[in-house]
Amino acid sequence: MKRTFGYKLSILAFLLPALILFLGILIAPIIMSGVYSLFNWKVGYPLKDYIGYKNYVELFTSKSIRFTPALGNSLMLALFSVFIQLPLALILALKLGKKIPGERAFLSVFFMPVLISTVVIGQLWLKIYNPEYGLLNVFLRAVGLEKWTRIWLGQKDTALGACFVPILWQYVGYHMLLMYAGVKGVPVELNEAAMLDGCTESQVNRYIIIPYIKPILKVSVIFAVTGSLKSFDMIYVLTNGGPLHATEVPSTLMISMLFLRNRYGMGSTIAVMLIVLCFAFALLISLAFKEEK
Amino acid sequence: MNKTYSLEGDSFLDRVRRIKASVFFTYAGLILWGIISIFPVYWMLTFSLKNNAEIFGENVIGLPKYWLWSNYTRAMNTGHMYIYFLNSIIVAVATIMITLIASFMATYALTRLVWKGRKAMNKFFMLGLTIPIHASIVPIYVTLSKLHMLSTYWAVIIPYAAFSLSMGILICTGFMGDIPYDLDEAAFLDGCGIWGIFIRVIVPLMTPAIATVGIYTFLQCWNELMLANVFISDDAVKTLPVGVQALSGQYTTDWGPIGAALALATIPTLIVYVFLSKRIQDSFIAGAVKG
């Protein structure tokens, strides 16, 4: 094909719909958020009051914004995610990767929660946690552990943990699926050779499979951490940051900054911080995995 | 006993017993997690058919004694679920169409046409896999409110399409790579231009990609809450996640209709999953491994 002017124009025409969407909805807004974050901008006022990086200073120093505790909450979620959710997913993936009967059925059941709307799952867990009629307290009363019953989402000391459980529960299947795909990708000869050499199952897992699927483990860790930083839906449905801000995460803060306190500038600052943190953590985790090699 | 060579002191029966025990524990564990995974959905489906007396004590986790289908009609009619349902379908269909057209065209330009910078352009589009939806909320909200487009279908359709685009291009790249280049050349010799090849050769052979991209996009927009919650406040335009949220605020003491509403929001996804589980799982794997 000749590379005429018409050819180049056609290329542009083919790319145009995607480019418009991509630049208009993803790239431009990031730049705009960056600009907004440098202004003290409230709803109804013009975008005039340039204050440089003061929003960022206020974000980390102000006691009334509570960004640091919110960030702490999401990092705590990231910790639980990496050290409880991922190992559980790995165990399931290793077991399912061994060509056992019923493998596909188990896989499909384990993955199902991922596909259900977080709003639906959140509403269900709201009912599970309901202090009077919720399954959890009903169960505790039925087995005689009356004194363990709580207002799970209404008490400051249990609310955060109660929010974490469904979040961790929902995405075990997602990480399991990724790891399972990795385990299936390990060459059969490698497994067989190790078995012939007298390795037990756990030795094969430890010395052959886990090192082999490290790239996937890296992806899982990155998703677990960035997903925790971005978490919003479940917390919004369960507590919306309450009681007394005990379950606030950066995203819920951002939304309340925008629509309750009408501070677009500060809301954008939180958005920019989230993006920066996500990229920074992704980079750090990649580096950590490289070091280990 | 010599511990390093335990095989000698290990009778055949012992080994069989050990393997049996390990198989037993494996299955016990898998089944336990299976129950934990599926239980909330089972509970939802059963309490969506019960009355309050059963839900609140008489029969908490069993199958319903009287199958109360009226919960569903109440959720549909007085709870406006049919509006939310319809809205979600409109939004999903439009988003899927836009995503498909944009990613087919872009993938064609990125993989079949030869030009400088196409690799860089591809990398640029793949950035979208890592950009969180949070990034665009404030600017898009401000823009939409200036254009008086808040609480319209387009307010969520266009962002959803944009955020599904990278994944769409990624999936299409895989499928388009499987179409032999000889076909392009044959069509070219028969007198087809770039557009002719695209429409007559590539698009008809991309039907499997339509399904995969379509399902992935469907799942993204069917379940999305944050943008829909912020951009849509009008009841007539609300999608299912926002609508269900609103509904459960109204029926705090009447769990049956809420359960029915939750089930209605979930059943389409479950149906798609039953028929296309392998394809859905593959699309999630593809997105993660490249991203």
Please name which of B223, B282, B131 lies closest in space to residue A234, comparing C-alpha atoms. Answer: B223
Mean pLDDT of chain B: 87
Domain count, chain A: 1
**Are the beta carbons of A17 and B266 separated by less than 8 Å?**
no
B1: distance to nearest CA of chain A, Å?
20
Q: What is the pLDDT of residue B164?
A: 93
CB–CB of B108/A14 below 8 Å? Answer: yes
**Is residue A91 in a domain?**
yes
Q: Measured between CB atoms, which of B38, B124, B127 is closest to A112?
A: B38
pLDDT more than 90, % of chain B: 41
Average the pLDDT over A100-121 and give the result. Answer: 92
Find tokens 């209404």 and name the residue. A154
**Is residue A55 in a domain?**
yes
Higher per-residue confidence, B268 vs A7? B268
Which residue, among A121, A125, A127, would best test binding to B if mutated, counting the most B CBs under 10 Å from its CB? Answer: A127
Q: Is the pLDDT of residue A117 over 50?
A: yes
Q: Is the pLDDT of residue B257 over 90?
A: no
| Confidence class for position B5, pLDDT limits 50, 70, 90 | very low
Please check whether residue A83 touches B, CB under 8 A.
no
pLDDT more than 90, % of chain A: 55
Question: What pTM does this model have?
Answer: 0.89
**In this predicted model, what pLDDT tens digit does every residue of B192-216 receive, in sequence order?**
888 888 998 899 999 888 988 998 8
**Is residue A115 in a domain?**
yes
Please check whether residue B60 touches A, CB under 8 A.
yes
Highest mean pLDDT pick, A145-154, A188-197, B26-35: B26-35
**Are the beta carbons of A133 and B55 separated by less than 8 Å?**
yes
Q: Is the pLDDT of residue A193 over 80?
A: yes
Average the pLDDT over A82-99 and give the result. Answer: 93
Q: What is the pLDDT of residue A175?
A: 95
Average the pLDDT over A202-223 and give the result. Answer: 90
| Confidence class for position A2, pLDDT limits 50, 70, 90 | low
Find tokens 């480019």 and name the residue. A19
Half-sphere exposure of B145 (CA within 13 A, CB side): 11
Distance (Å) of CA B264 to CA A283, B74, B79, B127: 41, 12, 12, 35
**Is residue A229 in a domain?**
yes
Q: What is the spatial distance between Cα B266 and Cα A116, in angstroms, rounded to a whole number?
A: 6
Q: Is the pLDDT of residue B53 over 80?
A: no
Q: Is the pLDDT of residue B10 over 90?
A: no
Higher per-residue confidence, B90 vs B19? B90
**Is residue A3 in a domain?**
no
Q: CATH number for the domain including A170?
A: 1.10.3720.10
Residue A284 in tokens: 């750090």
Give, in degrees to the nearest 5, the angle at Cα A78 between A77 and A80: 65
Higher per-residue confidence, B114 vs A291? B114
Q: What is the spatial distance between Cα A111 and Cα A118, in angstroms, rounded to a whole number?
A: 14
Q: Which residues numbered 162-201 in A keep a CB inside 8 Å of some CB on B? A: 169, 172-174, 177-178, 181, 201
Half-sphere exposure of B127 (CA within 13 A, CB side): 16
Domains delineated in chain B? 79-290 (1.10.3720.10)
**Is residue A31 in a domain?**
no
Q: SS3 of A158, please? A: helix
Higher per-residue confidence, A99 vs A78? A78
Q: What is the pLDDT of residue B9?
A: 53
Give, in degrees to the nearest 5, the angle at Cα B196 between B191 and B200: 110
* Number of Cβ pairs < 8 A linking chain A and chain B: 242
Q: What is the pLDDT of residue B242?
A: 93
Q: What is the spatial distance between Cα B30 and Cα B23, in angstroms, rounded to a whole number?
A: 11
Q: Is the pLDDT of residue A287 over 80?
A: yes
- Of A134-138, A162-166, A194-198, B211-215, the poorest mean pLDDT is in A194-198
Which residue, among A21, A84, A130, A200, would best test binding to B if mutated, counting the most B CBs under 10 Å from its CB? Answer: A21
Q: What is the pLDDT of residue A40?
A: 87
**In this predicted model, what pLDDT tens digit does every residue of A145-165 receive, in sequence order?**
888 888 889 888 899 999 999
Give, in degrees to the nearest 5, the angle at Cα A19 between A3 and B182: 45
Q: What is the pLDDT of residue B290?
A: 60
Give, in degrees to the nearest 5, the angle at Cα A160 between A158 and A166: 105
Q: What is the pLDDT of residue B2?
A: 43
Q: Which domain holds residue A224?
A: 37-292
User: Which long-range contacts (C-beta less than 8 Å, at least 24 apart) are formed by B201-209?
Assistant: B202/B104, B202/B108, B202/B112, B202/B176, B203/B104, B205/B179, B206/B104, B206/B172, B206/B175, B206/B176, B206/B179, B208/B175, B209/B104, B209/B171, B209/B172, B209/B175, B209/B176
**Is residue A22 in a domain?**
no
Please check whether residue B147 touches A, CB under 8 A.
no
Q: What is the spatial distance between Cα B161 and Cα B97, in angstroms, rounded to a whole number?
A: 9
Q: SS3 of A186, please? A: coil
Q: What is the pLDDT of residue A85?
A: 96
Give the rounded distance of the alpha carbon of A148 from its chain centre. Answer: 30
Helices and strands, counts by H and E, chain B: 14, 0
**Is residue A111 in a domain?**
yes
Q: What are phi and psi of A42, to 5 degrees?
A: -115, 160
Q: What is the pLDDT of residue B3?
A: 45
Taking contacts as CB-CB distances below 8 angstroms, the residues of chain B near A232 are 134, 225-226
